Chains A and B, each alone.
Chain A
Amino acid sequence: MTHHSTDNRWGWRSAGRASGGGLVLLLALGLTALVPALLRAQTGTVQGRVTEAGGGPIAGAQVMVVGTNLGTTTGADGRFTLLVPVGQRTLRVLAIGFKVGQVEVNVTPGGTTTANAELTRSVLSLDEVVVTGTGGAATKRELGSSVSAINLAAEVKDPPASMDQLLQARTAGLNVIQTGASAGTGAQIRLRGVVSVNQSNQPIIYIDGIRVRSEGYARNAPPPGADFTGRGNNVQASPLNDINPADIERIEIIKGAAAATLYGTEASAGVIQIFTKKGARGQRPRWNVEVGQGLATARPFGPWYNRYLNLKPRDSVTVSSSTGQLKDAQVQLFQKVSSSGQCYPTPPTDASGAPLPCNWVRNGYRQRYSGSVSGGFDQFQYFVSGSWEDDQGILPQDNERRLSTRGNFSFDISDKLRLEWNTGFGTNRIRNTPSGNNAQGLILNVYRWERNYRSSSNPFVIDSLLNQSITTEINRLVTGGAAYYTPWPWFTNRFTIGYDFAQQENRGLRPFGFVSQPLGRIQDLQAKFSLLTFDYAGNMDYTLTPSLKSTFTFGGQSITTEEVSTNAFGADFAGPGEPVVSSAASYIADEDRLRVINAGFFFQNVFKLKERYFLTGGVRFDGNSAFGESLGLQAYPKVSASYVVSDESFWPSRLGELKLRAALGYAGRAPGAFDKLKTWTPVPSGGISAFLPNEVGDTLIGPERTREIEVGADAGLLSNRLRVEATYYNRKTSDALMNVRQIPSLGFLNSRTSNVGQIGSDGLELSLNLTVFDNPKFGWDVGGNLYTNRSRVLSLCKGDVCAVPFAAQGGWIQGPDTLSDGTVIYFPIAGAKGIKIKNKDEIAPPDTACVMGNTRAEWEKNGKQLCANDGQSIFGPQQPTSIVQFTSTLRLPGNITLSGRGEWQTGGYVYDAASGNALSRSVRWPTCVRAQGILDQGGTQNDLTAWERHACVPANHNFDIHWYKADFFKIRDVTLSVPLGTLFRSVESATLRASVQNFWRWYNSDLKILDPELTDRDSLSDQSRTMSEHVPAPATLTVSLRLTF
C-alpha cells in the first residue's frame, strides 16, 4: 500500500499557531498517556544509498518512513541505515535541488532490507517541505504564497559569524540594514518594507517552533541622567544575533500577511523561523571544529580632516588657492590629511608624556572558536555545540565577547511518538566607546574638532573623554520541547512549549574626576525579558477520492510576553573608587513592567487535486490583552491556490517546471499595552508624587489588519539550469494604528493611538538563478534578486475621525491630496520631510517653495513635488524603493569555490543629523569649506550658493535641509572556500575559508560625510534612518579553518 501522507517528522519542527496554554497542555498530557501502548513494535533494518540519477551520492538527503516519525539523513557517501517497523513500508527521500523519491520496502523482523533511491534534479524543489505559515508540514508545490527557505548546509555552507551578515542580500524582499561600528550593534530587518506606522516593523522570530524576542535589547547609554537614556552610544543589540549561525540548519522566511495569517495578530511584518541542527538516527558522532581569525577595518568616511580617526577622505575637497577663500591656518588644517604615516602634528602624549595611540580608529582583531558534535542512535539523537568569539571592534574601547552553547536532543519513544528538547544558552559582554549624539562622546567631539565641547582638537584633551565606561551584559536562554505524535498515519499532532528568557545589564560610569562632571555619575539598567509559548497543531489527512486529498489542520497558541526593567541613576561621588549607585550623593530609580498575552486558534484545510491543483483556506482567531473593551476575538482569514502546470500531461518536459500561485491573507499588529487606557504619569517633584497627563486612550482600540495579496510563478527553465521566481504583492493595512495628535490646550500632548486610516504598499520580487555551466571540475552559478516597494498612506481617516498629519518613525505621515482635477497624490509612509532647495547650486537666494499645482499636468510640470501640510517637501521614503542583489558562485577544480554577493539599493533617503548638528554650531565642515572660506574672507551670504546659505550660515541654518539620497552599492560578501581534503588521520574533511564583507562600496555623491547605512535610530523596530555622530560599520575579513571528524 502506498500512502501519500505529506507530513513527517521533518515538517513538524516549527509551525507555531494557536492555543490557550492550559487546555493544550491537557491535550498533550492525554496524548502522552497513550505512549506505553505504542512502544516497542518489532523492527527490521533498512539500509541503502541515495544518489543522483546518473551521478554521485547525495549527502544530507532526508529519508523518512511515511506515516511515522522515523527518519534519518544520508552521510557524505549517500548511505543511510534505519530501523523500521516490520511490514510493507514506503520510504520518502528528499534532498535540496531534487525531486522527491519514494521507495517501497518490505521490512521483516530482524532482517535487513536494501533500498536505494535515485533522485532527479529539480531546480524548483517543489517537494521540499516547509512548515512556516502552513499550519503543519507542506510541500512547496502546494503553497500559494512565497516562502524563502535558506538551507545553510546546501547553500551557505560556511556561514558568517552573525545572523545580520548571514541574511544580508540573501533573498528578495528582505532588507538588512547595517547600523554603525559600535560593538554589539544590531541590524534593522525589514520584510517588504513598512507595514505599520505606530507599531514595530521588525518581523517576529521563531526558533524551532518557539517564539523568541525579535525587538532590540534595551539601548546602552552613558549616564547623563535618568531622563536622558536616549543619549549616548545609541545602539541596540539584536536578539537575532544571539543565535550562532553555525548551529542553523535552515531558515524559512515568510514576508507578509498572505503567508503569515496563521500567526495572527503579531505577524503582519512577516516571520523568520530558524531551525537548528539535529542529530541523525544511526549516525556515528561527527565532530566539527572551526577556528576563525580576522579583523574589522573602517572604510574611508567622515569629516576627513580628523587625522586621529585614521580616516582618509571619501572625496577630496578641492580648496582653490586662486580664490584665496581659506585662511592659511585653515588651509593647513584641511590639507594636512593623511599625507604621511605620522600623527599630525606630532604624536600625542598623555599628561605624563607617554605616547597615546596615534589613532582612535583601529583595525579590530576578531577571533572565533566553535565546535559541535552530532550523532544518534535508534531512539536518541543529539547535537551539542559551543562557540566563543571575541571581536575587538574598531573603536578604542569597543569589545564584544560572546559565548554560545546549544544542546538539541531527540527521543524516539516509538515510531509514533517523538520528543525533542532544544536549548540554547549564551552570554554576551559588550564594551562600547561613547559615541552618537552625545556631548561627552568621543566621536562627536572628534567630528567637531576645535569647536567641540572640550574646546580643543588636541587629541590629549579629547582622549580624556575615554575615562568612562559603557558596558552591556546579556544572558539569554531559549529552551523548549516539542512532542510529535502520530497515532495513525493520517493524524499527526505536535505540542510545543518554549521559554525565551533574557537578562540584561547596562551600566555606564563616569567616575569621580571625569573631565566635565568632576563628581561623577553612574547609571545601571537591569532588565528581564521573557516569552512563554504554548503551541499545539494537529493535522488530519483524508483521501476523498483517488485524485482528491485533503489535509485539515487545526491548533492553538498562547504567547505571554513579560518585560521588567529597573534603571538606577546616581550623581556626585564622595571620592575616587569603584562606586555603585548608592555611592552617589543623590540617586533615583525608575521601573517599567509590562505583560502582554496573545492567544488564539486556527483552522485550515488544503484540498489537493491530482497533486497539482491546490486550494487552501484557513482562519485564525486571536485575542490580546491590549485590545480594547468588548473587542472579542479578531479573525484573520486566508485563501490560496497553486497550480503545478508542468505536471500536466500537455506540458512538454523540455520546457522545465512551472508553478503558478496566488494567495490572499490577513494578519495583524496589536496596539501597545496601555493604548486603550486614559492614563496619567506619576512623576516625582521634590520628593512628592505628581500626576501629569499621559495618554488619552482609546477604549475601542484593536489590532491593525493587514491584507496581502500575492500572485506569482516559479519556473525551472533551460533544462533546470535557470530558476525564476516572480511575485507581485499588494498589501493594505486597514484600521491602521495612527498617532492621532491631540489638541494641546486640552492638556494631553501625547498622541492617541487609534485605528484610523489605511496604508498600503505593493511591489515586485523577482529572483533569477542560472547555472552557467556545471561539470565535474568547473561550475558557475549566477543569480540576482530584484525587489521593489512602493509604500503609500491611503487615508488618515475612519469615518469622521481623522488624524492630522504627524511625525512618526523619523518621517512624516500624511494622507493623500486631491488636486482640483481629481488627481489623487499619495505620500510615502514615514516620508523624509524637510526643506528641498531647488536651486541649491545657484548663487541666489534659496528657492524652497513646494508647489504641487492644481492639476496633474501642473503637478508633473512642477517636478511631481510632494508638499507636506506645513509647506515643506517630502523627499521620498526612508526605506529603499528598489533593491537589486547579485550572487555569483564559481566552482573550480578541487571543489574550490569563490562566491560573492552584492547589493544595490535606491529610492530611500537618510537624514544627516551629524552635519546639521555641527553646522548649526559653526563647526568647520567639509561640505561648507567653500562657504566658510568666503565668509572668513569677509564675504557675505550673497556670495554663497542657495544651499550654502541655508547650511553654512549658522544664523540661517535649518536642520530640515539635511536629507540625502541613500543610494548605494556594496559588495556584501566575497568568500573563497578551499577544501583541504583529509589533512591528517581521522579528519573526514577540512575546509579553509577566507571571507571579506562590505569591503567595497559606492554611494550617492551628495552624501559626502558618512555611510548611507549608518543610522542612529530610536529602535530596531521603526523606519527612522538618521545618521548621527557614529562611525560606519567596518569591513570585515575572516579566515577560518573547519575540520570535520
Chain B
Amino acid sequence: MRHHRTSRGWLALGLLAVAGPALSACDFSVTNPGPVEDKFLDSLTARRALVTGARRALATILGDQGGVLYWGAAITYELNPAGSTGSYGIPTEVQAGRLRKEENTWSDAQVARWVAEDAIQRFKARSFPEDSLFAALYLWAGYANRLLGENFCDAVFDGGPKEDFKNFFTRAEGHFTEALRIANALTINATNKANLVNAALAGRASVRLYLATYNNDATKRAEAVADAAPVPNTFRWQMPYFDQDQTQYNGLYWAQAGTPYRAHTEWATYYEDYYRTTRDPRVPWDTTNLRGDAAVAKFAGYPNVVNSRVPFWPQAKYKARNASVNLSSGWEMRLIEAEAALMAGDTTTALARMNLRRANLGLPPINAGGSLAGAWTQLKRERMLELWLEARRLGDLRRWSVANTPGQTFDGVWVTGEPSPRETMTNPTQRALCFPIGLNEEQTNPNLKKP
C-alpha cells in the first residue's frame, strides 16, 4: 500500500532539501595555533626569529647528538667511546671509523645552510634594512657553509647536482664578505660592531686558508693572513648553547653528564697523557672513579679496563649544558698566520705565532728542530690543541692529507706508557675523513639519482 504523504512529510523533505546546500556552505576554515604559516615570515618583525633560527639550526648540527662536533671528535680520537651506542652514544659504526650516509648529519647540516641562505633571499627580496641582524644572518650562513666544507665529502646546493665540496668554502667566503660589508657600514655600539667585523674577518680567514691549502693558492693565503691580522688574540665568536631544554644543550657535554650517559672518555686518547704531563688548559679532562656507561668491546683486554668497561675520564673543556663552542678565535688567527707562513716556507714566523699563544698560556715554547717538517708537526699539534673539540679536526686532517703537507699528526688510541698508538687514522683501517652525502639526499634529489 502506498502511503499518502502529508504536509508534514513535505516539510521534512523541504528541510532536507536545504540541508545539503547549507552544509556545503559550512565554513570549514579552522586556524590552529602552533606552527607558523610561511607567509607570516615576510614581516619585518619576523626577522629576528629567522636569524635566530639560522643560529639554532647551526647549533644543532654542530653540537647536538650526531653533530659534527661529537662524531667528528669520535672519528679523530679527540675522545674515545665509553659505552652508549644509542642516545647520546657513539654508534658502533662511528667507533669503527665509519660515517654512514644513513644518518641525519647531512640533512641537518643542509638545513643550517638553507635556513640562513633562504632568510638572506627573503631579506633581500623585501629590501629589509642592512642592519646588525642582516650582518649576523650572513655570518651564520658563512659558518654553516664552512662547517659543510670542513666536514663533508661533497657539496650540493638547493637540490642541485653534486659539486666539489670546496664550493662550500667559496660560498662561505661570499657570505663573510657580505657580513663584513654590512658590519662595516653599521652605526652601532663600537663593541658590537667590532664583534661582527671580527667574526666576519675570522670566518673568512679560515675559509681562505682552506682554499689556499687545497688550491695551493698564494693569493688566498695572503688574503687569509690579511683577514686574520686585525683580529685580536682574545676575540672569540662562539655558538651559544642553553640549558633551557635538552634540544639546546651542548650535546657533547650532555653525553657525558651522567644523566645517565657517560658515553665518552679521554682515557687512551693522545690528550690523556699530554694533559697529565703539561696541564695545557686547552685540553683539560677530569679523573673520576667511574667507568663508562656500557661495555666497549674493542677495548677488552686493555690496561685498566674491566669487563670491557673503560675508565670514565671526561673532557673538561665544556663543563655545563650551556657551554659555548668556539667558531672562530683570535688565537686561531695566529695559527692561520703561522700556517700561511709555513706554506711559504717561513718557519721562524710560524714558530713565533705559535709560541705567542703558548706564552700566553704559560707553556714552554716549542721549536721545530730546524726543519720545515718539524715546524709543520708543531703547527698540526698546536691546531689539534687549540681547536680541540670544536668540530675542526676532521677538516684539518682531510686538507693536510689531500695537500700532502709534511709533518706528523697524533690522532689515535694511545695507552699510557706505550710509545706508539694502538690505533691511528689509518690503522687498522682508514677512518673516514668526511661525512658523506646523506642517503636521503641521494634518494630524493633528482640530480643525484642514479638512472
Contacts and interface: CB of A to CB of B under 8 A. Distances in A.
Interface of A: 18-20, 23-24, 27, 30, 224-228, 439-440, 448, 450-455, 487-488, 490-491, 493, 516-517, 538, 540-544, 546, 554, 556, 569, 586, 588, 591-597, 599-601, 621, 623-625, 627, 632-633, 673-674, 677-695, 697, 741-747, 749, 804-805, 869-870, 917, 920-923, 953-957
Nearest to B446: A743
Interface in B254-282: 258-261
Interface in B281-295: 290-291, 293-295
Given A20-B23, A601-B20, A955-B298, A625 B28 contact: yes
B30 A673 contact: yes
Interface in B70-122: 83-87, 91-92, 95-96, 104, 106-108, 110-111, 113-115, 118
Contacts of B402: none
Contacts of B438: 744
25 contacts: A20-B23, A30-B15, A226-B245, A450-B307, A451-B294, A453-B293, A487-B8, A491-B9, A554-B19, A623-B28, A627-B28, A633-B24, A680-B36, A681-B35, A685-B56, A686-B248, A689-B49, A691-B50, A692-B57, A695-B35, A744-B106, A745-B156, A747-B110, A922-B297, A956-B92
B52 A679 contact: no
A490 B245 contact: no
Contact of B53 (A595, A621, A691, A870): A691
A1032 B249 CA distance: 35
Given A680-B35, A691-B49, A920-B91, 19 more contacts: A19-B19, A30-B15, A227-B245, A453-B294, A538-B12, A586-B244, A597-B30, A601-B19, A621-B24, A624-B28, A625-B29, A673-B32, A684-B244, A691-B50, A746-B158, A746-B159, A749-B107, A749-B440, A920-B86
Contact of A747 (B115, B258, B259): B115
A455 B291 contact: yes
Nearest to A692: B53
Nearest 9 CB-CB pairings of A with B: A747-B114, A922-B295, A679-B35, A225-B246, A690-B52, A744-B107, A921-B294, A625-B30, A690-B53
B111 A747 contact: yes
A472 B12 CA distance: 48
Given A225-B246, A586-B243, A594 B440 contact: no
A922 B291 CA distance: 15
B159 A595 contact: no
Interface string B415-451: 0000000000000000000000011110111000000
A544 B2 contact: yes
B36 A683 contact: no
Contacts of B118: 747
Nearest to A493: B12
Contacts of B49: 682, 688-691
B26 interface: yes
A684 B111 contact: no
Nearest to A916: B86
A744 B111 contact: yes
Contacts of B110: 744-745, 747
Contacts of B20: 601, 621
B428 to A, nearest CB: 11
Nearest to B438: A744
A650 B208 CA distance: 96
B24 A921 contact: no
Contacts of A685: 52-53, 55-56, 59, 242, 248
Given A455-B309, A627-B28, A690-B56, A678 B37 contact: yes
Contacts of B104: 749
B37 A623 contact: no
Contacts of A680: 35-38, 41, 53
B245 A569 contact: yes
A233 to B, nearest CB: 16
Contacts of B297: 922, 953-955
Nearest to B290: A455
B16 interface: yes
B391 interface: no
A688 to B, nearest CB: 5
Given A556-B23, A599-B23, A741-B443, A543 B3 contact: yes
Given A440-B260, A540-B9, A687 B291 contact: no
Given A685-B242, A688-B48, A922-B294, A596 B23 contact: no
Contacts of A920: 85-86, 91-92
A953 B57 CA distance: 36
A600 B23 contact: yes
